[in-house]
Every structure is written in C-alpha cells, then in structure tokens.
A = this chain, B = another copy of it.
Amino acid sequence: MNARPPHGSARPGGRTARTRVAVLTAAYEALGAESFSALTLDKLAERSGVHVSTIRRRWRTVEGVVVDLLAERSSTLPTPDSGDFRRDLHELAQAIGDFTDALRNRNVIQGLLAAAAHDPRVEEIVRAAFVGRTEQVTRIVRHAIDRGELPADTDAKDVIAALGAPFYYRVLILRGSIDARLVRTSAEAAYHAARAGVFGAGPDGE
C-alpha cells in the first residue's frame, strides 16, 4: 500500500485520533439534546475543546462531522450469526430497533436527510453509508442460503431492506417510537416472506 493515508487518519491513537474522538463525541452528545438544525461548528468547538478552525479544516461542515459520526455508529451494529436464520433476523431487528429508537440517532438521520434533500454530496454519502451497512449484514442471508434455509436465488439485500424498512417508516413517516411488537413483526414478516421465496429471482428473472 503506497497510497497516502486519507487526510486526518495519520498517527492512530495520536493527536489526530484524539481530536476525532472529541469532536464526534461532542456531536453525539449535542444531538441527544437538540436537533441537527441547531448544531453549529462553533457549538462543536465549544463542547469538544477543539478549535473551530481545526474542525472546519478536517470536516468542512456540520454535515461532514455527522456523516463521519453516522459511519462510526452504524458500523457498531452487530451481524448476528447464531446458526438459525429466524433467530438472526430477530437479533438484527432488535439492534436496528435500538439504533432507530435512540433520539440522537434519529436526529442524525433526520438532519442528514434534510441536508441530502438539497446537497447531492450529502445524498451520496447517506446512500453509501446505508448501502454499505446493508451489504455488511447480508451475511445473515448468505449463511441461511448455505444452510438450505432459503431458496438459492434469494436476493440478500432485499431481505435486509425488508427487515429494516419498518423501523425507518415508524420513526420518520409515522413519527412514532419503536416497541417490542415492531421488532417482532418486522423480523417475522421478513422471515416468512423470504421463506416463501418472495425475494427470489422473480417471474421475469429480475
């Protein structure tokens, strides 16, 4: 690897890494208390103790900080591997439910969607973050196919999207909170649909 490390990634554990932790922690805490739209670089500087010019140089905007935060928070979601497809779906549904139910995560998501609506760069970053996350947990589906629990032509990304969609619909569209019933019904709905072959190649080989 002769490629130059991405800006700000030098010296893991050093000053740059500490700066990142301080700023992301400040953003995370701020978004637990107030909305995305109320967040400014000056507030992040005050909360984190990092100079505003340093924050601006590294992340450019509040959106930049929050995209970095989303990437880090999302990657802490587990990819269950219990050996049983149905149980894996329930565990993943619980993790997505916990994630979407946390006020600060909802604030991050809503803020990014608002920003994405008028900034194609943010839109591309949101897409990449969620598509990347979806990609990662498709392992659950691939393992179920390997064990013969699902049809071989099951589209793994479709299954994961079907599992996650009800949580985002609940918090963003219906403006409600997550409950145990939604965790259970989302996992069971994805399970029964996948087992019935709904996410297979389809009548015209789509």
Contacts and interface: CB of A to CB of B under 8 A. Distances in A.
**Dominant SS at the A interface?**
helix
Interface string A170-206: 1011111001110011001110110010110011001
A168 B161 CA distance: 11
Contacts of A131: 174
Given A168-B169, A198-B185, A175 B127 contact: yes
Contacts of A198: 185, 188-189, 192
A118 B38 contact: yes
A58 B165 CA distance: 36
Interface stretch (A4-12, A20-28, A48-56, A106-114): A106-114
A149 interface: no
Given A127-B175, A192-B198, A193-B192, A36 B166 contact: no
Interface of A: 35-38, 107, 110-111, 113-114, 116-118, 123-124, 126-127, 130-131, 134, 158, 161-162, 164-166, 168-170, 172-176, 179-181, 184-185, 188-190, 192-193, 196, 198-199, 202-203, 206
A169 B174 contact: no
A37 B117 contact: yes
